[in-house]
Amino acid sequence: MPTMTTIPDRRRVPLPGISSRAYEHPADRSALVAMRSLSGFDSVLKQLSGLVSERRLRLMRLASAVRTSDTQFRSLHEMGRDAAYILDLPRIPEIYVQQDPSVNAMAIGFDDPFIVVTTGTLDLLDEEELRFVIGHETAHILSGHAVYRTMLLILTRLATRVAWIPLGYIGLRAIVAGLEEWFRKSELSCDRGGLLCGQDPDAAMRALMKLAGGTRLHEMNIEAFLDQAREYDTAGDVRDGLLKVLNLLGTTHPFAVVRVAELDRWRRSGAYEAILSGDYPRREDDRNVRISEEIKEAARAYRESWSQSQDPFIGVLRDVAESAVSAGERIFNRFARRTG
C-alpha cells in the first residue's frame, strides 16, 4: 500500500470499492450501463479492433518512451500509485513518458491498460496539476472507456471509406456525431475522477485553464476564466449558438472554458464532498443498476443543463430537444421491458 502524500490542511482520502458511477456524467454513465449490459459487446469490439494490438502499442512505448518507476520519473510513478490506491484499482497501471512537445495524456489498452504522458504536459503543469491529469486517466481506466472508444475510432474510419456513398456517409456521420458527444461527456466524467484523485480543486482548475493559456499562470485568473465561460454560454444571438454547435463537429474533448465551468459546478453541487465523506455507489452494486433509470437520469441532466444555459440557440431548440429526449426515454423503456 503506497504512502498517501499530503495536501494543505489534510491527507488525501482513499475511496475503497468506489464505482465509476460515482463520478461519471449521467450521459456517459447511461451509455456505459447500456453497453455493458449487452452480452459479448466488449468481446466483439476487441475483435473489431484487432489491428490496434494492445501488445504492439505497449511494445512501441517500451521501445520509444520512458517507463516510470522508482528510478525513472519517480514523482510521476508515485502519482500513479496514489491514484490507483484512491480509486481502489486492482492493479496499478504503468505510466510512460513520451517525448512530444504537444500537451496530451491518454489511457491505452483493453485488458491491461497503461497511461502515456507527453513531455509537453510535464513542462506545462506543476506537481499537483499533474496529479489531476494522472487521476483523470486512471478514471478512464476504471470506467472502461478505452473499450467503448474503440467503436468511435472504427466508425470514424468506416465513414471516411464510404464518403463516396452519400446516404451511407450521412448515416454514419450521424452515429459518429452521437459517439463524439458521448466522448466529450466521458471527458467531463474523468475530470471529476481526476479531482477525486488529486483532491485539490484549485490545481484541477489550473490544469484545465493552462490547456487554454499555457504556462504563464501569473497572467491568468481562475475567476476571470469562469467569467469567460459564462460569457461563452450567454454571448451572441441564435447565429452564435449555431456556430458553437458547428465548432464541436469532429471534436472529442469539450472546450477548456466548458470543462472548468462544469467541474466547478459539480464541486459546488456538493457531490464532491459527499464522495469524500464516504457517500458514493460501490462497485459491488453495479450489476443491479437498471438501464431505464440511468437513461432517465441522463435525460434529467440534459434538461437541467438546458434550463441553466442562457444560450439563445439552446432556447430555440429546447422544445425540439425535449421532444427528442422524451422519445428516447420511451424507446429505452420499451427496450428495457423486453430485455427484462
CB burial readout 62-101, b (16+ within 10 A) else e: eeebbebeeeebeebbbbbbbbbbbbebeeebbbbbbeee
Kindly report the number of other CB atoms within 10 A of residue 175's CB atom: 15
Distance CA 33, CA 340 (A): 15
The residues, ordered by sequence, that sit 6+ positions from 91 with a Cβ below 8 Å of its Cβ are 84, 112
The helix (H) or strand (E) run that includes residue 96 is: strand 95-98
**Distance between alpha carbon 24 and the CA centroid of its chain, in Å?**
8
Cell digits of residue 112: 491491461
Catalytic residues: 137
Q: 36 — phi, psi (to 5°)?
A: -65, -25
Whether the CB-CB separation of 197 and 24 falls below 8 Å is answered with no
* CB neighbour burial string for 136-145, b if at least 16 within 10 angstroms, e if fewer: bbbbbbbbbb
The count of other CB atoms within 10 Å of the CB of residue 311 is 21
Phi, psi of 60 (to 5 degrees): -60, -45
Q: How far apart are CA 320 and CA 226, in angstroms?
A: 29
Within 10 A of 187 (CB to CB), how many other CB atoms are there?
Answer: 19
Q: Are strands 114-118 and 95-98 parallel, antiparallel or unpaired?
A: parallel
CB neighbour burial string for 224-253, b if at least 16 within 10 angstroms, e if fewer: ebbebbeebbeeeeeeebeebeeebeeebe
